[in-house]
Amino acid sequence: MPPPAILDPGALDAAKIIADRQAIEAYNHQRFEFQLLDAVLLFDETTRVFAGYHDVRADAWWARGHIPGRPLFPGVLMIEVAAQLSSYASNRALARTGFLGFVGVDGVKFRGAVEPPARFLVVGRATMLKPRRTVCVTQGFVGDAMVFEAEITGMPI
């Protein structure tokens, strides 16, 4: 049984983007094919809740080989999207632009497959925001179905 949702994915308006790929670059250093976070939809400094998405496409660099004839978005890339969103939220909350390295992941559960085309929506909440360490609880959705959860830890590198 999945945990309660941090935020109801249906409550988000995908047309209200607060940060596009270019704006995300001010906080995150991934580029080219590894810039997986496509947009940020929510960043609430008071509640420390945030949301963003990655559009999973059939022509993505990984799709040809993972799995031929039935591409599945790799779980490690689900974790990476969650880490990039957590990095964006943590750096923005702490007003820093340096590189926040992904140093840990705990409690990972994959609850469903993500097949292109799909919007992989990630919601999260920062549970620790300190200059030397951040921890964020994240959940991934396709539609209303929770397909992923993980706790992401980051440190400035």
CB 50 within 8 A of CB 100: no
Is 20:39 a contact under the CB 8 Å cutoff?
yes
Q: Region of 40 please: left (phi>0), alpha (psi -120 to 50) or beta.
A: beta
| Nearest partner of 21 among 103, 81, 100, judged by Cα | 81
Catalytic residue list contains 54: no
Sheet-wide strand order for 118-130: 39-44, 49-56, 118-130, 133-142, 145-156, 100-110
Instruction: Out of 29, 66, 111, 133, pick the active-site residue.
Output: 66
Q: Burial letters for 2-34: b for 16+ Cβ neighbours within 10 Å, e otherwise?
A: eeeebbebeebeeeeeebeeeebbebbbbeeee
Catalytic positions, please? 66
